[in-house]
């Protein structure tokens, strides 16, 4: 292993790519700590130390921004606008035939879809930065914190100052997109995935240190042991796949013979990735948002439905919250897999090139068989996603460490997935140059 790592840094081209990627990561993390103009940075830091944090979508965005959101930095929005725009464009392929036609055109059509994603990212960044500045101006960014500094986060709340903050945060999102594309072109791995990985990994040391300080060394060791087991299980499931054998019949074209090969269709246990967790978290935040806008006036009792939502749909240790969260993840997993994998299209492509599954007739029976296999294999995948997402909530109930528990939810899925993909790319480039890769 150590000799393989040494070969990575002895290869000039690979060493240059890794160095470029690390330089972009350093710039990205630097921008996460540069405050936006007219932000009272000492007050923000005081609130971060004394408040209990945020919940729902705001906490998810803060996770993907590497903590930059609550610091109101120039990279406060992080990669979340781009992730949201990418998911929206994927969903629109089902609704808008033009998007589906562009996707099937190949590289030129997908370049157009990428351009649409960029425009949508900027539009979402404008919307989200406006919302963030408005929430910070109202003093509700850190919830109902009793810290006086949290009610005064801006040094100037004039309209032009707020406009400058919105433009700065939106420009930060555009700069992050450019960083990601540079890493994809000149560095190692997918640029946006690398930046997401960096944002989440940056929070691990502080989270583990907070657990050590608040719960003691024994709980810290327990969390580390659970983390190792969880990472191993996630790696195992993420690498697991059902291989459906496919044979291609021989055909003569002139004097040459084509086909006659055996291959397989890999269907992963977790084909949806982390998207269902994001969908479920966003949908669960809607009732809490509605209840927040229906708070009673001073001296009035809150409405019964507001109390019920506060007790059951915003409280992470509520059994109702856990059950609803789990069921939403299972449902969204089936929904997203149905959108991203079309058995009819796969069956038609196989039939076009003379491929067939042994024992299954080509055409409609093949599509029905693929749909049957996909439905059955998605069930354990969706339950696995639900259990991983509930790990921080279980940690809250057991050791009281949901805010600081790093080995669960979307974070561990992204860390492991991006890490595996990046190592595979380094391994492939090593094999091209040395005939021996990083993995054995």
Q: What does the pLDDT look like over 395-420, one tens digit per residue?
A: 666 665 555 566 667 788 888 888 88
Q: What is the pLDDT of residue 44?
A: 79
CB 20 within 8 A of CB 187: yes
Q: What is the pLDDT of residue 22?
A: 92
d(CA 16, CA 239) in angstroms, rounded, equals 29
List of domains in the chain: 1-203 (1.10.3370.10), 204-405 (1.10.3370.10)
Q: What is the pLDDT of residue 57?
A: 54
Q: What is the pLDDT of residue 169?
A: 92
- Whose CA is closest to 48, among 165, 141, 156, 157? 141
Instruction: List, in order, residues 6 or more apart from 277 with CB less than 8 Å away.
Output: 329, 385, 388, 389, 409, 410, 413
Which residues of the chain register pLDDT less than 50?
Answer: 53
Q: What is the pLDDT of residue 296?
A: 63
d(CA 29, CA 432) in angstroms, rounded, equals 32
Counts of helices then strands in the chain (DSSP H, E): 17, 5
């Amino acid at each position: 292993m150590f000799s393989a790592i040494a070969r990575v840094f002895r290869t000039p081209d690979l060493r240059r790519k890794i160095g470029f990627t690390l330089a972009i990561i350093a710039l990205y993390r630097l921008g996460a700590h540069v405050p936006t103009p007219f932000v009272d940075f000492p007050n923000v830091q005081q609130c971060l130390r004394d408040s209990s944090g945020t919940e729902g979508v705001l906490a998810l965005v803060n996770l993907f921004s590497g903590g930059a959101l609550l610091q109101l930095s120039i990279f406060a929005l992080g990669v979340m606008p781009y992730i949201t725009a990418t998911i929206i464009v994927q969903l629109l392929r089902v609704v808008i035939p033009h998007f589906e036609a562009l996707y099937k055109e190949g590289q030129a059509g997908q370049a157009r879809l990428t351009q649409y994603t960029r425009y949508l990212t900027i539009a979402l960044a404008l919307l989200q930065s406006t919302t963030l500045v408005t929430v910070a101006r109202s003093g509700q960014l850190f919830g109902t914190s009793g810290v006086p500094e949290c009610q005064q986060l801006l040094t100037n709340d004039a309209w032009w100052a707020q406009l400058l903050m919105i433009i700065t945060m939106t420009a930060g999102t555009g700069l992050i997109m450019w960083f990601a594309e540079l890493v994809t072109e000149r560095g190692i791995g997918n640029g946006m995935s690398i930046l997401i990985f960096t944002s989440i990994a940056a929070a691990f040391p502080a989270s583990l240190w907070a657990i050590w300080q608040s719960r003691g060394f024994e709980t810290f060791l327990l969390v580390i042991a659970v983390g190792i087991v969880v990472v191993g299980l996630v790696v195992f499931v993420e690498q697991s796949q059902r291989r459906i054998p496919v044979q291609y019949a021989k055909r003569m074209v002139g004097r040459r013979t084509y086909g006659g090969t055996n291959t397989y269709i890999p269907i992963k246990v977790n084909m949806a990735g982390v998207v269902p967790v994001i969908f479920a978290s966003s949908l669960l935040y809607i009732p809490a948002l509605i209840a927040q806008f229906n708070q009673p006036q001073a001296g009035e009792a809150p409405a019964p439905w507001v109390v019920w939502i506060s007790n059951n749909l915003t409280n992470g240790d509520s059994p109702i919250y856990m059950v609803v969260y789990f069921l939403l993840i299972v449902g969204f997993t089936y929904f997203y897999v149905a959108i991203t994998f079309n058995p009819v299209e796969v069956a038609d492509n196989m039939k076009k090139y003379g491929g067939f599954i042994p024992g299954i007739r080509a055409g409609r029976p093949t599509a029905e068989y693929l749909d049957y296999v996909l439905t059955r294999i998605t069930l354990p995948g969706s339950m696995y996603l639900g259990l991983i997402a509930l790990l921080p909530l279980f940690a809250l109930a057991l050791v009281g460490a949901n805010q600081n528990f790093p080995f669960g939810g979307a974070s561990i899925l992204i860390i492991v997935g991006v890490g595996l993909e990046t190592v595979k790319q380094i391994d492939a480039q090593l094999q091209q140059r040395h005939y021996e890769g990083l993995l054995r």
